[in-house]
Chains A and B, each alone.
Chain A
Amino acid sequence: MNYCRECGKILEGDKEECPFCGTKIDIMTNLESTVGEGSISDEVKQNEESPAIENQFSCVNYEDNNHIDYKNTEKPPVKPLSNWIKVLLSFLIPLLPGLGSITGIIASIIFMTNEDQDRKTFGYALLSFSIIFLVIICACCMMLGLLTSLPEMYS
């Protein structure tokens, strides 16, 4: 939250002038003032024992470093895919011939467009499984259909 330095009213948004008194607002000075009033300096004043202060500062530095690393690599932490979903999708393909393969293909394409390595690998495996199963069904369906329909035709 920013305050006007002249009249002290609350400023909303990124306006260049204070809407109440018309003073020009310098963003840098505002930032400095908020940092100066921050809680760290208050805590430093209260705890005057030197080891505690050093600890606090080292903690702050450590966190800052982490923050920088995280920004440089630009990889948000992604949860790996739950094993239950993997098992369920893999079982669905042989259990529901045809429909299971179609859901498998949809799910695997969604996973493969994902950037996450785990999802990509699983999507690839799932897609190959679905396609292979679909082609095998094509071959077996013909035989099954023949076996069930032939006795009726010749009886």
Chain B
Amino acid sequence: MKELIYFMGRSVCHQFPERSFFIQGTKMPLCARCTGIYLGMFLGFLYLYFRRRNKGNTPPSFQFLIGMILCWIPMILDGVTSYMGFRETTNITRLLTGFLFGVFIPVFIVLLKNFDLEGENNIPIIKGYKDLLFMVLLFFFSIIIITMDYDIVWWIVSGITVLTISYVYMQISYIIIRQILESISKKRAYYIALATMASVIIILSVMNELLLAKYR
């Protein structure tokens, strides 16, 4: 089971021990930044689902869009400066910036899924600044989970992150398939998306293993 989780985690992440969290002495399947991104995506999806915004199809207004994009800039700055060697970042910074990046991705995925090209789009996804604020505040929830040192937490967090990876890949391939094959039914599109997601993750993971085998 752990091997499967590590295998799936390898598809998107380098799993570098220096940049990963350890719970009960066991390494997380993703590095700190990736944990932040995918935990953020999961909590974003959860928030939209509980506020019943997952059927929304109106593009966010310009001010909210700018707010969301401003939240992405810390991760880009953090990533670029640390890879260029200007400064060293801590795991908590990586988690925070990754979380800020990931938490708003679901808004766009929901929008792409429900947007109707011909008809009217009136159901909002983001209603006000409150939504953005709540989504950002969910970070404290995630940091409380990460700092708890129980064996079960490892399973919960790594399960959530790995499932979110596959869910996001599946939704994206679903969006592409629905665009290419317009006449296909929803159920079949989901099956094809599932197969695409599985193959993409396997290919990426094997590629990662081959590329980085000499460093391990």
Contacts and interface: CB of A to CB of B under 8 A. Distances in A.
Interface of A: 98, 102, 105-106, 109-110, 112-113, 117, 120-121, 124-125, 127-128, 131-132, 134-135, 138-139, 141-143, 145-150, 154
Among all A-B residue pairs, the 3 with the closest Cβ atoms = A146-B14, A139-B12, A112-B59
Nearest to A148: B83
Contacts of A134: 105
B60 interface: yes
B95 interface: no
B46 interface: no
B34 interface: yes
Interface stretch (B108-116, B144-152, B186-194): B108-116
Contacts, number: 75
A150 B14 CA distance: 11
A132 B173 CA distance: 9
A105 B112 CA distance: 12
A127 to B, nearest CB: 6
Contacts of A138: 12, 34, 37
B142 to A, nearest CB: 18
Secondary structure of the A contact surface, majority rule? helix
B76 interface: yes
Contacts of B37: 138
Contacts of A147: 211-212
A132 B34 contact: no
Contact of A145 (B62, B83, B117, B175): B83
Interface in B71-115: 72, 76, 79, 83, 105, 108-109, 111-112, 115
B122 interface: no
B69 A102 contact: yes
Given A117-B117, A127-B111, A145-B14, 11 more contacts: A105-B69, A106-B65, A112-B115, A113-B61, A124-B117, A128-B175, A135-B105, A139-B11, A143-B14, A143-B212, A145-B79
A142 B13 contact: yes
B119 to A, nearest CB: 11
A148 B115 CA distance: 40
